[in-house]
Amino acid sequence: MARPVADREEVAVADPVLELRDASLSYGSRTLWSGLDLQVRPGELVAVLGGNGTGKTSLLRAVLGLQQLSAGTMQVAGHAPRRGDASIGYVPQQRRIDSHTPLRVRDLVRQGLDGHRWGIGRPGRVRWDRVDAALAQVGASAYADMPLSLLSGGEQQRARVAQALVGDPSLLLCDEPLLSLDQSSQRTVTELVDRRRREHGTAVLFVTHEINPVLPYVDRVLYLAGGRFRIGTVDEVLNSEALSALYGTRVEVLRHGDQVLVAGAPHHVEHHAAPCVHEDEDVAR
């Protein structure tokens, strides 16, 4: 099951797509994290873990230019973060699309291309070819003309990934894209993201509460807890010593093959829900 992670020699030489130096983020007097140094290189997949309210979404918002850092600097593709940066693809924290949304799957994907432009878009000029290519990338071509609201949660999520990819981003931000998906859909979405960064060198920040589905693909982990953080490979961060030091209390990390179980982390129960079972691959194929 485990696949080789990105070729480190190759990515080490490329300029980082995302670079934070001594960065802090506060809302008023409340500091979410501070002193954060992070470099994400092309093709690298960094999982962002941490309990509710530790500032994962806020980190993505800062990268998107929607939230100011309270200290430190950040560079996205060589420049300061700015709103509407076309080099970033964004998959938001999941929310079901309701039936008052008169969009087909292809319309949602198209929004990633020209939804921010004024006017109605000249009918002959719409880049449906790029929309179709993005839909094919995520394997959603078969229901391109379906109303979004009729799709299952997993299918909607795939459409959102296509929307994020259609602009050919060099950085992909995914905010809990696995939420409320079953194991097979979780694996599908993770594989889509993994394939994208392999084939196109897109750097990925992947916020998740479920470590296990992404574990085989993750290059590094950014673990946020209580205003502090830890960055490193899976082995460096997801072990009892590191997390105990981070939380300041005894935390057990159990590893079993491709599965990780974090036990005893305060205010942080989401991981435990991940069932420690071996997924029967053959059934899904």
Partner 1 sequence: MSDVWGQLFDFRDYGALLPLVANSLLAGAVLGLVGGMVSSIVMMRDLPFAVHGISELSFAGATGALLIGAGVVAGALAGSVVAALLIGVLGASARSRSSIVGVLMPFGLGLGILFLSLYDGRAANKFGLLIGQIVSVDDPQLTAMLVSGAVVAVGMLVLWRPLVFASTDPEVAAARGVPVRALSIAFMVLLGLAVAISVQTIGALLVLSIICTPAAAAFRVSANPRVVVALSSAFGFTAMVGGILLATGSRLPITPYVTTLSFAIFVVCAGVGAWRQRHGWSRARALAPSSRVAEPATT
Ligand X SMILES: Nc1ncnc2c1ncn2[C@@H]1O[C@H](COP(=O)(O)OP(=O)(O)OP(=O)(O)O)[C@@H](O)[C@H]1O
At residue 132, the 3 state secondary structure works out as helix
Within 145-184, the residues that bind Mg ion by CB under 5 A are none
Contacts of residue 152, Cβ cutoff 8 Å, sequence gap at least 6: none
Give the helix/strand (H/E) hosting 224.
strand 220-225
Cβ neighbours, 10 Å, residue 227: 15
At residue 207, the 3 state secondary structure works out as strand
Selected binder of partner 1 within 2, 13, 120, 277 (CB under 8 A): 120
**Quick check: 213 and 183 in contact, CB under 8 A?**
yes
Examine residue 54 and tell whether it contacts Mg ion (CB under 5 A).
Answer: no
Selected binder of Mg ion within 33, 48, 57, 213 (CB under 5 A): 57
Q: Least distance (Å) from partner 1 to the CB of residue 133?
A: 10
Within 17-56, the residues that bind ligand X by CB under 6 A are 27, 32, 50, 52-56
At residue 243, the 3 state secondary structure works out as helix
Binding pattern for the stretch 127-156 against partner 1, x by CB under 8 A and - elsewhere: ---------xx-xxxxx-xxxxxx-x-xx-
Number of helices and strands in the chain (H, E): 9, 11
Residues in the chain: 285
Q: List interacting residues with partner 1 (CB under 8 A).
A: 64, 66, 82-85, 88, 90, 92-93, 97, 100-104, 107-108, 111-112, 114-121, 136-137, 139-143, 145-150, 152, 154-155, 158, 163, 184-185, 187-188, 191, 195, 284-285
Q: List interacting residues with ligand X (CB under 6 A).
A: 27, 32, 50, 52-58
